[in-house]
Amino acid sequence: MIRAGGTDMGSGIADLEARYRALRPDLPEILRLRIHRALSWCRRAEREGDDPDARFIFYWIAFNAAYADDVADAESARMPERSRFEDYFAKIVRRDGGRAIYDAIWQRFAQSIRVLLGNRYVFQPFWHHHNGLAGHADWEDRFARSQQKVQAALARQDTHFILSVLFDRLYVLRNQLIHGGATWNSSVNREQVKDGARILEFLLPLFLEIMMNHPDENWGNPHYPVVSA
């Protein structure tokens, strides 16, 4: 399980909000909207200190506000969600000049991320097989191959790859909660929910700060822009 290590994430969000207010006049309008929405959901998540299910869901909404791109062309619209994660993380890692994401992945959460990535209950082919979906009887082989790729990425400290796989697994957890595939406060999936919430709690402010520090990057168009009546 991830330990907070004494970090006051509430103060972190408050500091980030203060920085946002200072930078807001110079940020592009669509980036202001992204940051404003994401910070609001991070702040809401903080109020659920004793409810990791709610914390995870609210942090995921914040992540969605940060990365989701309301693409204009049909071809891009058909892009799988996981591919959009990869595009977003490529930008984040490229702009991580202070290596904040790198340090979070390889120092602060290294062991916890290894445990989560080794958890079959957040590996989608496992559930496809148990739901009787044809073509997934080999889920164990797929899982083993995935773990080999993960271990190779860990060995070469490939931050982009690990972020992509990590959020792929967190996306499975997100689906379990959002689509009613889990019981609230269930003892069955407590550890991955708690770890998932803590990973998002730590990484999202880093993502948002990188975005604010690089307003020239094309972060895409947010869903449902504000439209005046």
Radius of gyration of the chain (CA): 18
pLDDT recorded at residue 108: 84
Which residues are within 8 A (CB) of 119 and not within 5 positions of it... i.e. 6 or more apart?
169, 192
Q: Based on the number of CB atoms within 10 Å of its own CB, is 50 exposed (0-12), middle (13-18) or buried (19 or more)?
A: exposed
For residue 180, give the nearest of 52, 53, 44, 38 by alpha carbon.
53
Give the single-character DSSP code of 83.
H
Residue 190 confidence (pLDDT): 77
CA distance 156 to 83: 22
Q: How many residues in the chain?
A: 229
Q: Which pLDDT value is given to residue 109? A: 84
Give residue-wise pLDDT tens across range 148-184.
Answer: 999 899 889 999 999 999 999 999 999 999 998 888 8
Q: Average pLDDT for consecutive 10-residue bins of the chain (229 residues)?
A: 40 87 95 96 93 96 91 52 84 93 88 88 92 92 93 91 94 93 80 91 94 94 77
